[in-house]
Amino acid sequence: MLREAMLYKKLEDDVVRCDLCAHHCRIESGDYGFCGVRQNLSSTLHTHVFGETIARNVDPIEKKPLYHFLPGSYAFSIGTVGCNFRCRFCQNWQISQIREKDGQGLGRELFPEDVVAAAKNENCASIAYTYTEPTIFFEYAYETAKLAREAGIKNIFVTNGFMTSQALDVIAPYLDAANVDLKAWDNDYYKNYCEARLKPVLDSIRHLKELSIWQEVTTLLIPGENDSETQMKGIAEFIAGVDVDIPWHISAFHPAYEFGDRGSTPVETLQKAETIGREQGLRYIYLGNVPAENDTYCHRCKEKVVARSHRGVRDIRLKDNTCPTCSAEIAGRWQG
């Protein structure tokens, strides 16, 4: 559905500048932005993906991954075509790398009120804007999030973090949690493999903290690319500098898209990153895409407070968000 976009400015000669993400695309009349779904039509920026899902599922919240936000609950997850990154290792490249002009008609009509109704029908505690980058379907997410808030349903962004602070400020009253991909501690990595930049992602993580939106961070470790001690330490040190209570999900890479000929990440690499993260003071670290315990322990007395299995949460032992043994507060949003 064609709809006027939010967060853009009209310039001279029928050019518009999109201020939704850190690309700040200058788009001439008739052209699309970098995301491939926002088009300048006669000096008015439009989104082509409002109310059009390319993917919709009911997922455990832990799949996002969010381990300290409504554990054991389910999220109604939606995404559209398009992305503002060009990650050569993308796990969802079949939908994220589709552009509107090439993929018209692929989406399924599902308007904001339909999303909220479906989430309620499926007994989902939250709606996750995910699979592709939610920033590029911002208007759709924004209108849905407002209705979800009225219905008592939480809202989650699973994001690359490349949005502007302006975009975060607009969605903040309705956004409850986010998982941010911090892909590397190297701007060249972002430039060469994602066609993006590192600094805006770091700025978003800081700003999410300022806005008191619960966040967890995920890093996909790719052998020989971002798995050096320098990379791991840089990421862990940065997260700890923002807040030692931010959970860090360290995920194993498996061959995908243009990196289909690469090897998978050894478990030992993830364990090494975990050790480095704890040395930097991070309290909650979890390993992803490999068999792992991933229970949550009290940072003070080391008591197990949330027990998990590969199928989800088995037991929550928190007492009013605190450890039942020593009463230390366990950071998170444990109740709706």
Q: What residue ranges do the domains of the chain occupy?
A: 3-47, 52-292, 295-331
**Secondary element (H or E) of residue 77:** strand 74-79
Residue 328 structure tokens: 């230390």
Q: What are the tens digits of pLDDT across the range 120-156?
A: 999 999 999 999 999 999 999 999 999 999 999 999 9
Mean pLDDT over 96-101 rounds to 81
Of 3.20.20.70, 3.20.20.370, 3.40.50.360, 3.30.70.1290, the CATH number of 52-292 is 3.20.20.70
- The angle, 0 to 180 degrees and rounded to 10, between the axes of the packed helices 229-242 and 199-210 is 30
Q: Range with the lowest mean pLDDT among 20-24, 30-34, 82-86, 99-103?
A: 99-103
What is the pLDDT confidence band of residue 103, given thresholds at 50, 70 and 90? Answer: low
| CA 265 from centroid of its chain's CA atoms | 21
- Integer Cα distance of 224 and 100 in angstroms: 34
Q: Supply the pLDDT for residue 310.
A: 77
Residues in contact with 248: Cβ distance below 8 Å, sequence separation at least 6, in sequence order: 216, 217, 218, 219, 235, 236, 239, 277, 282, 284, 285, 286
For the cut 80, the answer to whether the pLDDT of residue 102 exceeds it is no
**Secondary element (H or E) of residue 203:** helix 199-210
Residue 276 main-chain phi, psi, to 5 deg: -65, -40
Mean pLDDT over 216-236 rounds to 97
